[in-house]
Amino acid sequence: MRILLVEDDPDLSRQLKRALSDAGYAVDHAPDGEEAAFLGESEPYDAIILDLGLPKIDGAAVLEGWRRANLSTPVLILTARGAWSEKVASFDAGADDYLTKPFHTEELLARLRALLRRSAGHAAPNLSCGSLRLDPRAARASVGGEPLRLTSLEYRLLHYLIMHQDRVISRTELVEHLYDQDFDRDSNTIEVFIGRLRKKIGADRVETIRGLGYRLIAVEDEAREA
């Protein structure tokens, strides 16, 4: 899952980027409204965390521009502006949630998880596909109750697949949602990570749809390769 963090405070940006990365997200950072507006419309994010008090273009104007362009990405406002009128204006401009500074990082992460669940049509906090389970709160996964040992990219791949299970996902889409902007993206590496993931969760759980991509499905067989 790929997140755009729009925040002009360098210290807070570093802190949040580290926390988001540790939670299993690919994170891009925009330090001002101008770059945020461009990235939001040109890159496919799963969610956006947006400060309002930004240089160059105010965050509220950025949000309004995104919504005029029919950008449906969930947006969490993160700002020191705590007046009720600011909150109402933000929701009316198209925000999906609002968190006032100072805040606890765990609350931010919880709100982000809720936004991602709702946008993908999931209600339960934990995700499942048959006996395959993923707990976004702990960034952990299991099959048949047995915990899986996953690298950060394997976890990110599984998270995206299980969020969009039963849908065919192209290699291009996976590349766009697994890697941040600075990563040297290569769609061929997706095949490598798919192969590694199959060895850990069971090869028959990830279908290859020739010429189209991959699909995560629920299966009855619990056997996995060592």
Q: In the prediction, which pLDDT does 189 show?
A: 85
Q: What are the pLDDT digits (tens) for 105-149?
A: 999 999 999 999 999 899 899 999 999 999 999 999 999 999 999
Among 54, 88, 120, the domain boundary falls at 120
Q: In the prediction, which pLDDT does 220 show?
A: 67
Same domain? For 29 and 115 the reply is yes
Same domain? For 15 and 102 the reply is yes
Q: In the prediction, which pLDDT does 166 show?
A: 85
Q: In the prediction, which pLDDT does 81 show?
A: 87
Stretch 194-206: mean pLDDT: 95
Asked whether residue 221 is assigned to any structural domain, the reply reads no
Among 120, 137, 166, the domain boundary falls at 120
Helix (H) or strand (E) holding 146: strand 146-147
Among 54, 86, 120, the domain boundary falls at 120
Asked whether residue 109 is assigned to any structural domain, the reply reads yes
The rounded percent of the chain whose pLDDT value lies above 70 is 94
Same domain? For 76 and 151 the reply is no
Is residue 5's pLDDT more than 70? yes
Is residue 12's pLDDT more than 70? yes
Asked whether residue 190 is assigned to any structural domain, the reply reads yes
Q: Please tell me the distance from the alpha carbon of residue 171 to that of residue 157, in angstroms, as a whole number.
A: 11
Asked whether residue 223 is assigned to any structural domain, the reply reads no
Asked whether residue 226 is assigned to any structural domain, the reply reads no
Q: Which domain holds residue 132?
A: 127-216
Q: Please tell me the distance from the alpha carbon of residue 178 to that of residue 47, in angstroms, as a whole number.
A: 13
Q: Is the peptide bond before 55 cis (omega within 30 degrees of 0)?
A: no
Is residue 199's pLDDT more than 50? yes
Mean pLDDT estimate for the chain: 92
Q: Is the peptide bond before 10 cis (omega within 30 degrees of 0)?
A: no
Q: In the prediction, which pLDDT does 8 show?
A: 97
Q: Is the peptide bond before 102 cis (omega within 30 degrees of 0)?
A: yes
Number of structural domains in the chain:
2
